[in-house]
Amino acid sequence: MYHTWMRYFTPGPAHHRLGLACLGVGLQYGELPTVGPRTLDHHVAVVISAGGGWFQGPDGRRQKVTAPALIWLVPGVPHHYGPDPGWDECFVDFTGPATATYTELGYIEPDRPVVPLSDAAGARATVGRIARAARRGNPLLEVETGAAVHELLVVLRRARSDTAPDGHQVLQALARDAFKPLSVAEHAALHGMTPAELRAAVRRGAGCSPKDYLLGIRLGRAKELLAATELPVAAVARRVGYDDPAYFSRLFNRRVGMAPVRFRAQQGRTVPGGWSNRIPDPDDPPMIERPPDP
């Protein structure tokens, strides 16, 4: 015996242009029937939160599925799966042009259809919000569920069981040392890794190269300094790890689309009392609290 609940949607062209469109959502548990063999024209994320079973891809090889786990179903790829004897699952069907970018960044993994998770609670909570938004007559349904698919991909990425051992620790260390004038090879040596091993770890953890990961952190900090202080551009460059201000300006212009001085002119704010050289620590953001009632 099994229990199932599901809803399906038909978003319009404008909703597809938001990047991701939710096509359906479901929650099921028990001795569910086998799925497939079949081939879909859209993506599905199937989250197994309890129990186990099997998955079979186009190569005909059966893989064991043990909760908590994620099954990726991608367009054009035959698949066949089922619980043995039963499991708890929730699923989300989705499509849209952003799927290509999420795949490039490693959030969707066509080559790894069965992904062990450290925890399924976050994913189930997000799917639950999609299910609640799916009530009939909700005028925000397509936008609300589409936005939740973006969130689901982030939650699933964070819940991958292989992320913490070599992904988060390396990324945290890189972020800590991001403003030191070190090459990728020097960063790798600090962690007892070869440059190739570092590239693989960062690609798994952040979906990009170490150089791009460090550049994003450095330029983000540079924007904060440009917007909130009157430090010269050369001083900003040195603070974020670049001894050559001209090189920093070229990098900034290429990634941001404008020169540092223009960014400052657009974002800078003149406040009573003048500028401040004290920038809030990104790891200790200010709290916005409601003032006490008189």
Provide the pLDDT for residue 273. 46
- Tell whether domain 2-159 is in CATH 1.10.150.20: no
Residue 18 has pLDDT above 70, yes or no: yes
Select the more confidently predicted residue: 276 or 25: 25
Q: How far apart are CA 93 and CA 95, in angstroms?
A: 7
Does this model's pTM top 0.75? My answer is yes
CATH topology of domain 166-267: Arc Repressor Mutant, subunit A (1.10.10)
In degrees and rounded to multiples of 5, residue 49 shows phi and psi of: -105, -15
Cα 23–Cα 36–Cα 40 angle in degrees, nearest 5: 35
Residue 289 has pLDDT above 70, yes or no: no
Q: How far apart are CA 178 and CA 245, in angstroms?
A: 17
Element (H, E) at 86: strand 79-95
Are 50 and 69 in contact by the 8 Å Cβ rule? The answer is: no
Provide the pLDDT for residue 165. 44
Residue 290 has pLDDT above 80, yes or no: no
CA distances from 107 to 79, 149, 156 (A): 20, 12, 8
All structural domains of the chain with their residue ranges: 2-159, 166-267
- Strands 43-56 and 69-73, sheet pairing: antiparallel
Provide the pLDDT for residue 166. 47
Lowest mean pLDDT among 68-72, 171-175, 221-225, 251-255: 171-175
CA distances from 32 to 29, 51, 253 (A): 7, 11, 55
Lowest mean pLDDT among 14-28, 99-113, 250-264, 279-293: 279-293
CA distances from 203 to 105, 108, 157 (A): 8, 13, 13
Q: How far apart are CA 10 and CA 231, in angstroms?
A: 52
